[in-house]
Amino acid sequence: MSSDPAVGIVGDGPCGLMTALLLARAGVRCVVFEKKPGISTHPKAMGVSRRTSEIYRQLGLIDRITEGSLSRGDRSLAIWSRTLVGEELGRVPYTEEFSELTPCTGLHCPQTWTEKVLFDAVTAESDAEVRFNCEVLNIAPGDESVRLTVSEEQVFDVPWVVAADGASSGIRHQLEVETDGPGDMGPFSMSCFGRTTELAWKGVVPFFIPRSRTIIWSFSSQSMGLISG
């Protein structure tokens, strides 16, 4: 990047990377600050809505996103059960795969792959930069700009800041921005399952389970949610 950025983006998840890509393609210089040493190594979120697929299509990324997506097959969006193989209490079906209103479908794509595709696209843009191991320690809004203090006491003055650092946003807390709703709903644990041909290349050790599902909610006091391929 040849000159100072106009926008500082905190967090390099799908929202932060997508923001950087859209800004860069519009000719707006931006930099993404991420405290981790790289993009995600855990699948995390899996669902891609039709509308999001449309945006990927507009950006020329839909083929790459689809390449890393898992087949829907006979999966349900969620299954409520006592255990992985125990009593089934109910299912949440997917929406219809196709619609006459759009050429795109919803996808089942691990966040690891989504972030890789977005990261590769962002780093190909001359007006965008991603800085890893750069935790934003302090934010100080001014009259004309916002001062960001990051790791190793580096200081950046930018006209605009985008807080894309998640639901527990440190930026939001520093600015004392309140949220509505129940807040923290407790700890969740996620486990990934799938066939070897689908998940081995993503570094996930596969297990065989008799049901094909996306999300299994268990009713254990020690574990809230389980995600499977």
Range of 38-42, 136-140, 205-209, 211-215 with top mean pLDDT: 136-140
Three-class SS of the chain: CCCCCCEEEECCCHHHHHHHHHHHHCCCCEEEECCCCCCCCCCCCCEECHHHHHHHHHCCCHHHHHHCCECCCCCCCEEEECCCCCCEEEEECCCCCCECCECCCCEECCHHHHHHHHHHHHHCCCCEEEECCCCEEEEEECCCCEEEEEHHHEEEEECEEEECCCCCCHHHHHCCCCCCCCCCCCCCCCCCCCCHHHHHHHCCCCCCCCCCCCEEEEEECCEEEEECC
State yes or no: pLDDT of 83 exceeds 90: no
- List, in order of start, the domains of the chain with CATH numbers: 1-46+110-179 (3.50.50.60)
Confidence of residue 12 (pLDDT cuts 50, 70, 90): very high
Tell me which of 199 and 146 has the higher pLDDT: 146
pLDDT confidence of residue 44: 77
Q: What is the pTM of this model?
A: 0.79
pLDDT confidence of residue 190: 62
